[in-house]
């Protein structure tokens, strides 16, 4: 028996386009002699469809497309196992269907609906009953859908009901260390059931999520015999044979997985690239300051889109150093992008005259907001999407200007702490990612990485004038944001005094209103701002020491 694993992309809401792509991949699988082609979770609709599921017309369209797709299997080609939505009695179900010979042979509904982190499937779907195995060509296939393998009951039920192979379609987004977590989980289910398991995941970007694929097959005994590459669409033909102790995958094909931080960089590329192209922007525009955040953002954009689609603009003020001017120009030249310089001094002077003189923080924010006005004017005139460059450390403590440097359509660094930004920049200067469209060599001057970070909004300004060193700050933020521990526990974990941690927590909580107005950005860690972490803006709770 040959089962083709179609690790492919999806476009949420593009039902016709998704069906067309599935037929193309099925034809490739047929040429390779496949008996069955397996597609990821909700391949018909794209994952996650979110509140589109609440539209009866959308559910009806998905069901109609599923029937049309089943009709297409009347050509004696391979059977298909694919994800869609099924509506029944006013409820919608996350569904997997098996079709062959022009007919839908079976439907099974997702039983465990995730309702945490980035997931809120209970909002739109109804849980299905524990699924029975699907009998196909004399083989009993257990088809748990994604979350169904994260808890024990579904796989145990399938085993008790006679399932012989577990085929698991997924829509599992990337986050740090997710490969290890998925593989360990799959091995647990294989150990518990004694059944081999094929784990198939989608690839591509969808708003704040990047899907890495990383599909694999585990045989009894916990050995991974197939590992597909991350991020790439691919078709892997797996051969299966039945022995005295049951079915096993006899194919051995192991592709390498991205090491850290290459995996993070790829997630940023996929998230930004698909967001820009699928929302039909001709390119992006970036404020290039001569600092590390904007330099890394520009590198990610060039690697994802190509240099011809990236426009960088330096907007110096009286406080912009000569080093920053030189570094921004050098960075643009290394990346091969269009580069312009537009000084904001005339605008600053006009604002001071209009407001009869301003000082302090208000004067600093005027500079940041004038840069935003400049970039948005260029965006409006030429159609390029403005890309934001702030990192997670800054977003955490409000070290960013609302309606200034926070403005834009997308932020690839949104979930990357400042220390991660440094790691990524050093790595990209030394290595070129496999999928990158940018230069083979370094992408920014070394001085950008080595100089002390500064917003350059007042004389001799440094980030550490008002923030702890980023190495310490990020450890505190990881404890408070990723681990949700108390101030006292964070102090114990990090070795920082309680009062400093308490002040960082205060900054974190009062900046929530800013983050609510920030653009989307790709999820990297366990708790990104947006889908994962949803705090009230008006909030009087403070954790104890």
Annotated binding site for L-glutamine: 116, 172, 178
* C-alpha to C-alpha distance for 373 and 409, rounded to whole angstroms: 14
Q: Pick the catalytic residue from 100, 146, 175, 418.
A: 146
CB-side neighbour CA atoms (13 Å) of 165: 27
Strand partners, 285: 311, 386
Q: Pick the catalytic residue from 41, 175, 456, 478.
A: 41
State the binding site for ATP. Answer: 287-294, 389
* C-alpha to C-alpha distance for 26 and 375, rounded to whole angstroms: 45
Residues 6 or more apart whose CB falls under 8 angstroms from that of 464 comprise 452, 453
What phi and psi, each to the nearest 5 degrees, are found at residue 168? Answer: -115, 105
State the binding site for deamido-NAD(+). Answer: 365, 394, 514
Tokens linked to 324 = 């920053």
Strand runs labelled E in 89-232: 91-100, 103-109, 134-136, 139-142, 165-170, 197-201, 203-206, 209-212, 216-218, 224-227
Yes or no: say if 457 and 368 are a contact pair by the CB < 8 Å rule: yes
Is 41 designated active site?
yes
Yes or no: say if 355 and 378 are a contact pair by the CB < 8 Å rule: no
DSSP code for 282: S
Is 110 designated active site?
yes
Q: Which SS3 state, helix, strand or coil, does residue 60 take?
A: helix
Q: Which SS3 state, helix, strand or coil, does residue 181 take?
A: helix
Is 55 designated active site?
no
State the binding site. Answer: 116, 172, 178, 287-294, 365, 389, 394, 514
| Cβ count within 10 A of residue 378 | 17
Q: Would you please indicate which residues are annotated as catalytic (active-site) residues?
A: 41, 110, 146
């Amino acid at each position: 028996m040959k089962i083709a694993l179609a690790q492919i992309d999806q476009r949420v809401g593009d039902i016709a386009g998704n069906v067309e792509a599935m037929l193309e991949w099925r034809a490739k699988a047929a040429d390779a002699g496949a008996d069955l082609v397996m597609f990821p979770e909700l391949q018909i609709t794209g994952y996650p469809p979110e509140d589109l599921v609440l539209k009866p017309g959308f559910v009806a369209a998905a069901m109609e497309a599923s029937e049309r797709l089943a009709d297409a299997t009347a050509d004696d080609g391979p059977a298909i196992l694919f994800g869609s939505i099924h509506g029944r009695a006013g409820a919608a179900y996350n569904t997997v269907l098996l079709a062959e010979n022009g007919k839908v042979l079976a439907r099974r509904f997702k039983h465990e609906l995730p309702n945490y982190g980035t997931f809120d499937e209970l909002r739109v779907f109804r849980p299905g009953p524990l699924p029975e195995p699907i009998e196909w060509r004399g083989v009993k296939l257990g088809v748990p859908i994604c979350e169904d393998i994260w808890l024990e009951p579904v796989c145990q039920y399938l085993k008790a009901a006679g399932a012989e192979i577990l085929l698991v379609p997924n829509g599992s987004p990337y986050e740090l260390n997710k490969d290890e977590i998925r593989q360990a989980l799959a091995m647990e289910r294989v150990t518990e059931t004694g059944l081999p398991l094929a784990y198939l995941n989608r690839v591509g970007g969808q708003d704040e999520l990047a899907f890495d694929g990383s599909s694999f097959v585990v045989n009894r005994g916990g050995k991974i015999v197939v590992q597909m590459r991350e991020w790439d669409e691919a078709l892997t033909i797996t051969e299966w044979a039945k022995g005295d102790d049951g079915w096993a995958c006899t194919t051995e094909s192991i592709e390498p997985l991205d090491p850290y931080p290459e995996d993070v960089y790829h997630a940023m590329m996929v998230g930004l690239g698909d967001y820009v192209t699928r929302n039909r922007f001709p390119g992006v525009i970036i404020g290039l300051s001569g600092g590390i955040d904007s330099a890394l953002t520009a590198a990610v954009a060039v690697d994802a889109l190509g240099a011809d689609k990236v426009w960088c603009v330096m907007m110096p003020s009286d406080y912009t150093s000569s080093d920053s001017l030189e570094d921004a120009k050098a960075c643009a030249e290394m990346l091969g992008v269009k580069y312009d310089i537009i000084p904001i001094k005339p605008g600053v002077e006009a604002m001071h005259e209009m407001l009869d003189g301003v000082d302090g923080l208000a004067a600093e924010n005027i500079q940041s907001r004038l840069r935003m006005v400049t970039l948005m004017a260029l965006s409006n005139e030429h159609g390029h999407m403005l890309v934001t460059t702030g990192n997670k450390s800054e977003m955490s403590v409000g070290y960013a200007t609302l309606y200034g440097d926070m403005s834009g359509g997308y932020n690839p660094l949104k979930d990357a702490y400042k220390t991660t930004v440094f790691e990524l920049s050093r790595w990209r200067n030394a290595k070129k990612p496999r999928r990158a469209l940018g230069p083979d060599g370094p992408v920014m001057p070394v001085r950008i990485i080595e100089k002390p970070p500064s917003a350059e909004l007042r004389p001799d300004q440094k980030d550490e004038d008002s923030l702890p060193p980023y190495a310490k700050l990020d450890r505190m933020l990881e404890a408070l944001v990723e681990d949700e521990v108390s101030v006292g526990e964070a102090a114990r974990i990090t070795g920082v005094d309680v009062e400093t941690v308490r002040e960082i927590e205060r900054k974190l909580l009062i900046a929530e209103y800013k983050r609510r107005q920030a653009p989307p950005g790709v999820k990297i860690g366990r708790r990104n701002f947006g889908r994962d972490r949803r705090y009230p803006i008006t909030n009087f709770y403070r954790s104890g020491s």
